[in-house]
Amino acid sequence: MNIAILSRGPNLYSTKRLVEAAEQRGHKARVINPLRCYMNISAHRPEVYYKQEALTGFDAVIPRIGASITFYGLAVLRQFEMMSVYSLNESVSIGRSRDKLRSLQLLSRKGIGMPITAFAHNPDDTKNVIELVKGAPLVLKLLEGTQGVGVVMAETNQAAESVIDAFRGLHANIMVQEFIQEAGGSDIRCFVVGEKVVASMKRTAKEGEFRSNLHRGGSSAMVKLTPEERSTAIRSAKILGLNCAGVDILRSNHGPVVMEVNSSPGLQGIEECTQKDVAGRIIEFIEKNARPGKTRTKGKG
């Protein structure tokens, strides 16, 4: 197979591991910077060019599109889909996952457990929103944030009002969530490929921090999932239409609650913690599923 990996970082661990795993299984893998692609959007003959070269002959594409280039990255991915190239995660599904509010609305409709979440536009509703999530301590999240950026914990209602007012002054969209105290600063990253959790780890925040992201100094450890946690992770990825996802779960008093579903989960932390060949499982999934024209949306939506 000939596989394109859409990534701006050819030297990033995740990108290198995907190339390595593909080549080990006898495939060709090429890293393509989506920002250097340009498109010919013409009737019946869509094309993608990369540094003056027409990109043809690909059987599958693995999108590793960073949040900061979501708009253009998804435009390039849609063009590949219109050319009937199979995509590991389709553009519509990635778009759903990048919109935190929309993704939570979709998950809630299907009964997935999650922290109480509130969203409002008018400053007059701030106190009501805080009451909805049971008051402080609470968590405030920028809808456009990623990797823990734009996530703030407010210890008191007054502090929450001040932060909300500050964000509103910057015309930023934020949502307010209850703080799951019993999670103890830990969450579980479930790496879903297809309809299986292929690896999982528990991430714990460093002293004085509540965000458990590894690049923020958090630590990781092996963890045994409960059947409910495993089912929640698989269902969450499926609801958003993702074949490959990192589902972040908190252990609450009323069962597992989903914090976020990541459509471009990093491989380094999970592979180093679990010693599992996650990249290999991704390539194996593509081998079994990549067929010309199998893309469900073909760039629609």
Name which of 9-13, 55-59, 152-156, 277-281 the model is least confident about.
152-156
Amino acid 83 reads M
Give pLDDT tens digits for 5-15. 999 999 999 99
What's the confidence (pLDDT) of residue 210? 57
Residue 43 maps to a domain: yes
Which of the two residues, 146 and 296, has the higher pLDDT score? 296
Give the strand pairing for 244-252 and 255-262. antiparallel
- Whether 25 and 90 map to the same domain: the answer is yes
Domain final residue pick, 162, 179, 196: 179
pLDDT at 301 over 70: no
What's the confidence (pLDDT) of residue 211? 61
- Whether 197 and 267 map to the same domain: the answer is yes
- Whether 164 and 196 map to the same domain: the answer is no
pLDDT at 295 over 80: no
Q: What is the CATH number of the domain that holds 246?
A: 3.30.470.20
- Whether 33 and 11 map to the same domain: the answer is yes
In the block, residue with structure tokens 């990996």: 5
Rounded distance, CA 170 to CA 168, Å?
5
pLDDT at 218 over 90: no
**At a CB cut-off of 8 Å and minimum separation 6, what does 57 contact?**
2
The answer to whether the CB of 1 falls within 8 A of the CB of 28 is yes
Q: What is the mean pLDDT of residues 147-162?
A: 84
What's the confidence (pLDDT) of residue 170? 79
Q: What is the pLDDT confidence band of residue 84, given thresholds at 50, 70 and 90? A: very high
Q: Residue 33 — φ and ψ, nearest 5°? A: -80, 115
Average pLDDT, the chain: 90
CA distances from 210 to 52, 85, 186, 218 (A): 47, 41, 8, 9
Q: What is the pLDDT confidence band of residue 125, given thresholds at 50, 70 and 90? A: confident
Rounded distance, CA 85 to CA 62, Å?
10
Q: How far is CA 124 from the centre of its chain?
A: 32
In DSSP terms, which residues pair with 142 in a beta bridge?
174
Residue 299 maps to a domain: no
pLDDT at 252 over 80: yes
pLDDT at 300 over 70: no
Q: What is the mean pLDDT of residues 269-296?
A: 91
Say how many residues make up the chain: 301
Q: What sign results for the dihedral spanned by CA atoms 95, 98, 101, 106?
A: positive
Rounded distance, CA 295 to CA 79, Å?
12
- Whether 214 and 155 map to the same domain: the answer is no
Residue 297 maps to a domain: no
- Whether 65 and 91 map to the same domain: the answer is yes
Q: Residue 300 — φ and ψ, nearest 5°? A: -85, 150
CA angle 61, 270, 1 (to 5 degrees): 25
Give the strand pairing for 86-87 and 60-63. parallel
- Whether 214 and 251 map to the same domain: the answer is yes
- Whether 200 and 260 map to the same domain: the answer is yes
**Kind and range of the H or E element at 136?**
none
Residue 46 maps to a domain: yes
Residue 33 maps to a domain: yes
Q: What is the mean pLDDT of residues 106-128?
A: 89
What's the confidence (pLDDT) of residue 146? 58
The answer to whether the CB of 157 falls within 8 A of the CB of 130 is yes
What's the confidence (pLDDT) of residue 145? 56
Residue 107 maps to a domain: no
Residue 191 maps to a domain: yes
Rounded distance, CA 194 to CA 154, Å?
37
- Whether 24 and 56 map to the same domain: the answer is yes
Domain final residue pick, 154, 179, 204: 179
Q: Which domain holds residue 246?
A: 182-277
Give pLDDT tens digits for 173-214. 888 999 998 888 899 999 999 999 999 999 987 765 556 565
What's the confidence (pLDDT) of residue 240? 97
- Whether 172 and 198 map to the same domain: the answer is no
Q: How far is CA 120 from the centre of its chain?
A: 24
Q: Which tokens hold the place of 139?
A: 């968590």
Count of domains for the chain: 3
Q: What is the CATH number of the domain that holds 161?
A: 3.30.1490.20
Radius of gyration of the chain (CA): 20
Residue 68 maps to a domain: yes
pLDDT at 108 over 90: yes
- Whether 194 and 272 map to the same domain: the answer is yes
What's the confidence (pLDDT) of residue 216? 53
The answer to whether the CB of 129 falls within 8 A of the CB of 98 is no
- Whether 221 and 174 map to the same domain: the answer is no
Give pLDDT tens digits for 219-241. 889 999 999 999 999 999 999 99
Domain final residue pick, 179, 213, 228: 179
Percentage of the chain surpassing pLDDT 90? 70
Q: What is the pLDDT confidence band of residue 257, given thresholds at 50, 70 and 90? A: very high
